[in-house]
Structure formats: structure tokens, C-alpha cells
């Protein structure tokens, strides 16, 4: 079974994961680069910055309200909002329905 330099297996219990090196979480990779923030896919598709900001805010508001109604912990709602924001820094609001993604 292949192992990485920490002698940890690259496979999960199902045998999948060849070449998987894990997820690196550090303060060096938690912030979006400036070029990604300035040139979003939505902006490239012609959505004005004000509209994109509104969709980002409204999407997070929907996630927060849904979490409250479902009695989820705040950390779950905050994590969902972060994932929502990061998704739309890689994908366009024009091509992906924010309401469907909120569900």
C-alpha cells in the first residue's frame, strides 16, 4: 500500500484515494488571492459587481435563516456560508442557481 512521507496510508478504508495527499489547512492558504477576488467568473460573464455582491449577501442570508429554522449550530451555518462564497469565486452566478445551491 503506498504511503506518504509521514507513513500514513494514501487509501481510505474502501481502497480509494491513490495519490491523495490530504487537505492542507493553514493560514497560508485560507485567504483568496487578490486576482481571484478581482476577476470573478460572474464578472467575466457580465454580471455587475453590485448585483454579485447582492447575490452573495442574499445567499448567505438564506443559509443563515435556513440554519436557524433547522436549529443548526452557528458553526454549521458559518461553514456553509464560507463554502457558498468560495464556490462562487470559482463558478458564475449566471451558470449556477444560488437558490438551488443553498438547499
| SS3 assignment, position 3 | strand
Q: Is this structure's pTM higher than 0.85?
A: no
In tens digits, the chain (103 residues) has pLDDT values of 444 444 444 444 555 556 656 666 676 766 777 777 788 888 999 999 999 999 999 999 999 999 999 999 999 999 999 888 888 888 888 888 776 766 6
Question: Are 62 and 102 spatial neighbours (Cβ–Cβ below 8 Å)?
Answer: yes
Distance between alpha carbon 57 and the CA centroid of its chain, in Å? 15
Alpha helix positions (H), 1-103: 34-38, 41-44, 49-69, 74-88, 98-102
For 95, the enclosing helix (H) or strand (E) is: none
Amino acid at each position: 500500500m503506498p504511503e506518504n512521507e509521514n507513513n500514513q496510508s494514501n487509501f481510505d478504508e474502501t481502497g480509494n484515494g491513490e495519490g491523495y495527499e490530504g487537505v492542507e489547512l493553514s493560514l497560508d492558504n485560507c485567504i483568496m488571492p487578490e486576482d481571484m477576488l478581482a476577476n470573478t467568473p460572474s464578472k467575466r460573464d457580465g454580471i455587475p459587481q453590485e448585483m454579485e455582491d447582492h447575490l452573495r449577501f442574499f445567499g448567505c442570508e438564506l443559509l443563515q435563516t435556513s440554519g436557524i429554522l433547522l436549529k443548526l449550530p452557528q458553526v454549521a451555518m458559518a461553514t456553509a456560508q464560507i463554502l457558498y462564497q468560495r464556490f462562487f469565486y470559482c463558478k458564475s452566478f449566471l451558470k449556477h442557481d444560488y437558490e438551488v445551491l443553498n438547499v
